[in-house]
Amino acid sequence: MSASDSAEELQRLIQGILKALPLDYSAERCSDSTTPGRFCDPCMQLKAVNANLCAHFEEINKLLKIQAEAKQRVNQHHDPLSHLPVEISSHIFSIYTEDVNSDFDPQSLVVQHSGPLLLGAVSQFWRQVAFSTPHLWNTINIHILSDSNLRTKVELTKEWLARSRQLPLHLSLGYPTWDCVEPGHDPLIPLFNELQHVSPRWCTLVLGISAGLYTTFFGKVTCAPTFETFKLFEEEAEDGHFPLPHTPLLKHLDIQVSMPFSSISIDWSNLTTIEANKILIGEYFDILQLSEELESFRLCGLIRHPGYPLPTSPITHLALRELYLNTNESRMDPSGVVTMLDLVTFPSLERFGYDSGSRTSFPNSAIPTIFNRSRCRLTHFDLCGDLRNGTTDDLISILSDLPTITHFKLQDSYSRRLDDPLMSDILLQRLTPIIRPNEFIHIDRLLPRLESLEFQGYKAFSWSFLASLVSAANYDGDPNSRPTPERPECTNSIRRIFFEVYAEEEMERIDAQSLAHFQGAHRAGIFHCQVLRGDFVGGIIDPFSWGDDLA
């Protein structure tokens, strides 16, 4: 027990004793007194003891008050923030709350009791600083774990909103109806009303409530003039409707629900980023036409709908710079991906990613088509998933038309083939810079501007070919053999190579020369490699502790 806890316990004990003892002993209670109004000797002694106790208790109370005041002065004297200007203390508190809010997961049922309330519980000075700093209170994360604490949530929300003054608000509301019985709409109305009153200050809104509550949540709110970021997450929301048509500043939309986009009434024209789950292919084209300022489009769970009208000719979108497609959770065959890519043109596209998940669907015909038609300068290219229907020749053909790529990631973790793998000796050789060029020999090198190479999958290449690539990436250059713009295959721009290799059985031995190249590049911070054995249950092997072989 700390000293402060001991003092508080002592004070409570003394107060309890004072209430229990009859310190005001009356002479009328003395039945043996011969003179009315006077005490007998034993009663006189008891009265004196009680008076003495009372005096001591009063003295102890005075000392406890002095102790509390001294403790407050000690805390203030040793509190580093008390010696700083209030503005700096407020800034420090703001950094703390921003860090706490960045770790907040609206889909987690674990509520962390931290943030500005924790700061205010430290001391009176901290509480004064916290309560007078609006930036600590303009992020509100509300978790409704049951309808029994709704009244407390409403009162706390009122106080929180009041302390935020007139700052833009970042709201997160989670109501996990999949874990508890959903009450009627009435119990939630007082909380929703408080949030509706501040809708002109909404900047970020994250909603994890049942789709049936959307209309109740928004009430009569149809305009949010400062609304910039919106996220919906819920297991199913097919019957929901999102009525907020006037959102002139809305830039970021994240819809992680099964919900027709026709039910989302917002201003699409100024959106710059969209992340969506389970949308129809036709909706994908509609969104591109509605959102002319869109720069990033990430799609997961695409669904093909035969009755949905598709464009008759390719749509040109001038602003899109990033497109990522994930078909893992979809019911769409590879022809659907081909349709999505054949009917669009993205001249500004810089980043492209495709992840088929566990579905075997490598659209090797559509990918080069969209790049050639768009004539874009692609810099980041990711291929992930079950790519067994693609070959090394397919991949080389695609990469041959993309000389501007600086970051290439290949994740072929489902394929265990050894006869025609994607990450093969041929591909590694074509990616390797020529560090000692011969003017009479010209190598058609792939990706001459490559800076980062990532691979995750089963090993079907030779360590020596990987070592050649690593050695070239770690080469400092020969003053007698300088690369020139006319010889891009001689240019070494690689700064990072990361390989995560899966091994079911024993691997081939690593020769000493290759291992030396690996270790040298690893020390230089260029090469990173780890090997996972036996369906990954054997743990991770550090390849730089193998000695001279991997048995």
Considering the domain boundaries, does residue 294 fall inside one? no
Considering the domain boundaries, does residue 444 fall inside one? yes
Rg (CA), the chain: 35
Strand-pair partners of 323: 297, 352
What pTM value is reported for the model? 0.78
Residue 166 reports pLDDT greater than 70: yes
Show which of 50, 78, 106 is a domain's final residue. Answer: 78
Coil, strand or helix: which one is 383? strand
Considering the domain boundaries, does residue 517 fall inside one? yes
Residue 482 pLDDT class (50, 70, 90 cuts): very low
Considering the domain boundaries, does residue 235 fall inside one? no
Q: At what angle do helices 366-374 and 392-400 cross, to 10 degrees?
A: 0
Please, what sign has the CA dihedral across residues 314, 315, 319, 321?
negative
pLDDT of residue 245: 87
pLDDT of residue 443: 59
Considering the domain boundaries, does residue 545 fall inside one? yes
- SS3 string, 243-265, reads ECCECCCCCEEEEECCCCHHHEE
* String of DSSP letters for 476-517: --BTTB---TT-GGG-----EEEEEEEESSPPPPPPHHHHHH
Mean pLDDT score, 353-376: 81
pLDDT in tens, 11-62: 666 666 666 655 555 655 666 555 666 667 777 777 777 777 777 777 877 8
DSSP letter at 447 equals -
Residue 3 reports pLDDT greater than 50: no
pLDDT of residue 137: 94
* String of DSSP letters for 387-446: -TT--HHHHHHHHHT-TT--EEEEEETT---SSS-SS-HHHHHHHS--SS--TT-----S
Number of domains in the chain: 2
Show which of 13, 47, 78 is a domain's final residue. Answer: 78
Query: What b/e string do you get for 392-409 counting C-beta neighbours within 10 Å, with b at 16 or more?
Result: bebbbebbeebeebbbbb
Residue 365 pLDDT class (50, 70, 90 cuts): confident
Residue 4 reports pLDDT greater than 90: no
pLDDT of residue 382: 95
Burial class (CB in 10 A: 0-12, 13-18, 19+), 203: middle
Residue 345 reports pLDDT greater than 90: yes
Q: Which residue has the higher pLDDT, 86 or 78?
A: 86
Residue 175 reports pLDDT greater than 90: no
Phi/psi of residue 4, nearest 5 degrees: -65, -40
* pLDDT above 70 as % of the chain: 76
Residue 480 pLDDT class (50, 70, 90 cuts): very low
Considering the domain boundaries, does residue 71 fall inside one? yes
Who contacts 283 (Cβ-Cβ below 8 Å, separation ≥6)?
Answer: 260, 261, 262, 308
pLDDT in tens, 87-125: 999 999 999 888 887 766 666 655 555 688 888 888 888
Mean pLDDT score, 146-171: 89
Amino acid at 413: S
Residue 485 reports pLDDT greater than 70: no
Residue 201 reports pLDDT greater than 50: yes
Residue 512 pLDDT class (50, 70, 90 cuts): confident
Coil, strand or helix: which one is 235? coil
Q: What is the largest CA-CA distance in the chain?
A: 135
Coil, strand or helix: which one is 296? strand
Considering the domain boundaries, does residue 130 fall inside one? no
Residue 5 reports pLDDT greater than 70: no
How far apart are the C-alpha atoms of 235 and 233, rounded to whole Å? Answer: 7
What is the residue range of 397's domain?
A: 386-551
Residue 500 reports pLDDT greater than 80: yes
pLDDT of residue 477: 52
* pLDDT above 90 as % of the chain: 33
Residue 131 reports pLDDT greater than 90: yes
* String of DSSP letters for 20-77: HS--S--GGG-TT-SSTT---HHHHHHHHHHHHHHHHHHHHHHHHHHHHHHHHHHHHH
pLDDT of residue 534: 47
Burial class (CB in 10 A: 0-12, 13-18, 19+), 450: buried
pLDDT in tens, 486-499: 444 455 789 999 99
Considering the domain boundaries, does residue 493 fall inside one? yes
Show which of 78, 94, 119 is a domain's final residue. Answer: 78
Instruction: Kindly report the number of other CB atoms within 10 A of residue 249's CB atom.
Output: 13
